[in-house]
Structure 1
Amino acid sequence: MRVAEAPTRAQLVQRAKDLAPVLKKHAEQSEQDRRLREETIEALADAGIFRMRVPARYGGYEADTRTLVDVAAELGRADGAAAWTASVYWIPTWMTCLFPEHVQEEVFSTPDVRICGTLSPSALAVPADGGVVVNGKWSFVSGALHSQWQEIVAVVQEADGPPQPIMALVPVSDLQIVDDWHTFGLRGTGSVSTVAQDLFVPQERVMPLGAVLQGQHASPLNADTPIYRAPLLPVASASSVGTALGLARAARDAFFERMPHRGITYTGYGRQAEAPLTHHQVAEAVLKTDQAEFHAHRLASLVDGKSETGSEWTLEERARARADMGAVCRLAKEAVTVLAGASGGSSVYSDAPMQRIARDIQAVNLHALMNPDTNSELYGRVLCGQEPDTLYL
């Protein structure tokens, strides 16, 4: 084990900015391949992106969620698929840090290890001598094609009790890959399905999902480290929103890059920048992006502040974390929609960056955890004094 000198937030954000030429270069091919290019993965690894939630004793940076937001936003500005995949890796990497130390040592012994995962309990497990045997399938497993480990969720049926959801760590090599990622958006994430058939998982790599959702530890060494003592869903929320913010900024970049070279056809405006309509459109889009940034940073500040003090989370704070995440996604999509609509007929060609940006932000908003309407309803439900209708809070 070694302790690395962690780079600062500013240094990590600058590294993400410096990746832009590589990510942009390979973004279109990644979309066509339905998986990230190896060059993209290598660039992300070299920049330390996969170490951001790894404990310092394993060479990680133990970055807070504000850093995750700002780094993902820069990555998303260059390639939404690369940003999404990196963000997804951060979540199960953080979850791995709740496991006993000897499990962490096994996982983090691989340099720049990549851990994919899911929160959906779409598999069944039965107790076995020394562990459990799992059968099932998980979909939307972003980054699985480049991962060494997967965090899985299954429901175990004990002989003398009710079904209980569990979380486990398994080598990706023990799973079957189903190449079913044929989508309109976030195509480059390679979010394929994985399948377990009679897979034995030792008990040391199994934890109750309820404990994980509450941020409870089997890792004494991490228990007092601020970033590892928050509940899972606020952590996952803060880990995810940077991609949406980055896509809104990418749309702004793409629009202003083309604007000086085009007019508005069938009008008297030879230069789009002269049109009052354009002035309203860009102001609306930029203000929505600013609002998205506010919610992203408010969410990160909540998670980091509570983690630093170790204070208990209220039900309203948990619901607000998901609401802030949904607000970022909604506002970012609205900003992209405005700028895409202002980009004219020439933007319908498939090689126009705005096309991929618009598809990616729509796909983000359709994600079950990110969905703005679901998250707003949950927040309003709690604000009205009702009990939440989900454990994912």
Structure 2
Amino acid sequence: MTDTTVAPASARITATEAPPASLTAEIVQKIHAYGPLLRENALLADRNRVLPQQSVDALEESGALRIAALRRYGGYEGGASMLLEVARTVGFYDPAAAWCTVISNGSVMLANRYGDDLLDEVFADGPVRMASIFASPQGTAVPENGGWRVSGEWPFASNSSHSAWAIGILFIKDADEQPGAAPRIGFAMMRRGEYEVKDTWYTIGMRGSGSNTMVTENLWLPQNRIITFEQLMGPGYERDPEATFGRRLTPHLTMSTTIQAASLGAAAAALDFVTEKAQTRPITYTNYKRQIDSGAFVQNLGQVSMKIDSARLLLERSAAMIDAAAAGTEPMPLEERARNRGGIGHAGHELVDAVNDLCWLHGTAAFAEHSLLGRMWRDINTGTRHASITAPMGYELHGNGITDTEYISAKL
């Protein structure tokens, strides 16, 4: 197991590659042990629009929430493959818990791009839970007294109810900014208590993610709490031979790849549910006493399974390429990032098709209020439409790479 002692800046641990697969398997085994609890609590999470503390504790105790933290702070400094596998396992029991697992770890991955002095403060007592919003600047930072005066409102902040720290994207209003110049984009690191969580998350799916709105007004932050877009999203660390593995992970592609894990796990749970019920469930208005007696049903179930498998393979390819790049100092080429973004979007499209097909196969009982299949249908259809993984944008980005046309997004 990883030593949880925090190493000061003068005693840095060098981690140049992802931890061994055996560690991932160990965490996955613990999650399966907590599985019945997570699945039972998923009903409470869906009803109350936030994860129960008992579920958060289970994720903590399994090690699922310390994947992205640097090893010198007691984390595993795991890569995209590790987070994908762990999160899809959590998603099998509760997709919203898997979503929060990815968001917390992904936010820590973003935090790893800040300076060592701030990281020593954030992780002084070991790995922490985090939230982040890194799309569409929703606030401003103005220089004041050697620091920054920050105000902002960041909606859809998953895991914000359980986070100790959070990152919000904003515009940096420099004192010497030229009239008409495009404002710089930056990211503010805020401690819990420096921002409030406004209850705004009312959806039909991924309700337990607690993706409410973070708000702060006239908050003064020291200089090191804000970094620029280029520092956080740029390839600087990816090219740095002195950077550790966790700091070299490319941020946006890693988040996009792993956030799809919640729906991947949910689709597997939906498939298991329909397959189990088919052993005894008849097909109404037919002579079939069991659904599995129908060749058409069995064939379609096999097709659904292949859709889920194809989604998993696409996501695993992306994760493996991310980890391979982070183990060296050559950033992944843009066309490969775009290809993977297309694959991530296509994976989501396949998962939606798969769960829709399962609802057709199972029948109208899928849409009973407390049906596990119905909840997975809601979560998958909601989760796969997240802005960073939606299929249409992914396809167009991949098309940009194929045709050598201008990319529609700078976040690759």
Same fold (TM over 0.5): yes
Which residue is 2:104 aligned to?
A: 89
| Other-structure match for 1:345 | 364
2:156 corresponds to: 140
Corresponding residue for 2:27? 12
1:41 corresponds to: 56
**Is it true that 1:199 corresponds to 2:214 in the alignment?**
no
**Partner letter of residue 316 of structure 1?**
E
Whether contact under 8 Å (1:238, 1:303) holds in the other structure is no
Aligned counterparts of 2:78 and 2:32: Cα–Cα separation in 1: 17
Is 1:189 the equivalent of 2:215?
no
Matched to 2:259, the amino acid is: S
> How far apart, in 1, do the equivalents of 2:332 and 2:364 lie?
49
Instruction: Sort the Cα spacing of 1:164 and 1:212 in 2 relative to 1 into closer, same or farther, 3 A.
Output: same
SS across alignment from 1:8:
helix
RMSD, matched Cα: 1.9
CA distance in 1, matches of 2:377, 2:80: 26
Change (3 A) 1:203 1:154: same
Residues 93-146 of structure 1, C-alpha deviations (whole Å, 9 max, x = no match): 011111122211211124441110011211122121222111121011001011
Match of 1:364 in 2: 383
Question: 2:333 & 2:126 partners in 1: Cα distance?
Answer: 37
CA contact (8 A) 1:98 1:216 kept: no
Could you tell me whether the CA contact under 8 Å between 1:251 and 1:340 is conserved in 2?
Answer: no
One-letter identity of the residue aligned with 1:245: L
* AA aligned opposite 2:228: P
Deviates more, 1:96-105 or 1:284-293: 96-105
Structure 1 residue 244 displacement after superposition: 2.0
Query: In structure 1, how many angstroms separate the alpha carbons of the residues matched to 2:151 and 2:87?
Result: 34
Q: Residues 150 and 2 from structure 1, CA distance in 2 versus in 1: closer, same or farther, beyond 3 angstroms? A: closer
Per-residue deviation, 1:224:
2.5
Aligned-residue offset at 1:34: 0.4
1:215 shift after superposition = 4.1
Distance 1:337 1:110, change over 3 A: farther
User: Aligned pair in 2 of structure 1 residues 170, 215: CA closer, same or farther (>3 Å)?
Assistant: farther
- The structural deviation recorded for 1:306 is 1.0
Query: Deviation per CA, 1:159-210, whole angstroms, max 9, x where unpaired?
Result: 3333100012101311122101111000001100011111112111111012
TM-score, normalised via structure 2 length: 0.91
**Separation in 1, partners of 2:387, 2:206:** 15
Residues 172 and 298 of structure 1: CA distance in aligned 2, closer, same or farther (over 3 Å): same
CA shift at 1:216, angstroms?
3.0
Cα distance in 1 for partners of 2:188, 2:227 equals 6
Q: Which amino acid aligns with 1:113?
A: V
Q: Which residue of 1 aligns with 2:128?
A: 113
Determine helix, strand or coil for the equivalent of 1:49. Answer: coil
Distance in structure 2 (CA, Å) of the matches to 1:88 and 1:345: 33
Give 3-state SS (helix, strand or coil) of 2:149's partner. strand
User: Residues 232 and 177 (structure 1 numbering): CA distance in 2 closer, same or farther, change over 3 Å?
Assistant: same
State the partner residue of 2:47: 32
Alignment match of 2:325 (pick from 278, 286, 306): 306
How is 1:217-256 mapped onto 2 (pairs within 5 angstroms)?
Answer: 217=237, 223-256=242-275
Instruction: Classify the secondary structure of the residue corresponding to 2:236.
Output: coil
Q: 1:234 to 1:269 in 2, by over 3 A?
A: same
1:297-350 residue CA offsets vs partner (Å, 9 max, x unmatched): 100111011111221321101212322221221111111111122111222211
Amino acid at match of 2:158: S
Is the Cα–Cα contact under 8 Å of residues 82 and 189 in structure 1 kept in the other structure?
yes
User: Partners of 1:275 and 1:197 in 2: how far apart?
Assistant: 61
Larger CA deviation: 21-30 vs 320-329? 320-329
Select between 179-188 and 160-169 the one with higher mean Cα deviation: 160-169
Please say if residues 237 and 243 of structure 2, whose CA atoms lie closer than 8 Å, have aligned partners that are also in contact: no
On the 8 A contact 2:142/2:173 being kept in 1, the answer is yes
Please state how far the C-alpha of 1:223 moved relative to its aligned partner.
4.7
Whether 1:334 aligns to 2:349 is no
Q: In structure 2, the residue corresponding to 1:368 is in which secondary structure? A: coil
> Is 2:138–2:153's contact at 8 Å kept on the other side of the alignment?
yes
Name the CA distance, whole Å, in 1 between partners of 2:35 and 2:235: 34
> Aligned partners of 2:199, 2:93: CA distance in 1, in Å?
26
Q: What is the alpha-carbon distance in structure 2 between the residues aligned to residue 336 and residue 93 of structure 1?
A: 31
Of 132, 148, 153, which aligns to 2:169? 153
- Tell which deviates more after alignment, 157-166 or 209-218: 209-218
Unaligned runs of 5+ in 1: none
Q: Quick check: 1:247–1:332 contact (8 Å CA) kept in 2? A: no
Detail structure 1 runs of 4+ shifted over 6 Å in the superposition. 3-7
Q: Confirm or deny: 8 A CA contact 1:263 1:270 kept in the other structure.
A: yes
What amino acid does structure 2 have at the position aligned with 1:157?
A: K
Secondary structure of the 2:381 match is helix
Which residue, 79, 100, 110 being the options, matches 2:94? 79
Secondary structure at the residue paired with 2:278? helix
AA partner of residue 189 (structure 1) = S
Q: Distance in 1 between matches of 2:340 and 2:225?
A: 29
Answer yes or no: is 1:50 the counterpart of 2:98: no
- Partner SS, residue 148 of structure 2: strand
User: 1:208 maps to which residue?
Assistant: 228
CA distance in 2: counterparts of 1:128 and 1:34, whole angstroms? 38
Deviations 1:265-317 (A, max 9, x none): 00111110011221122011100011011101100111011111221321101
Aligned-partner residue type, residue 298 of structure 1? R
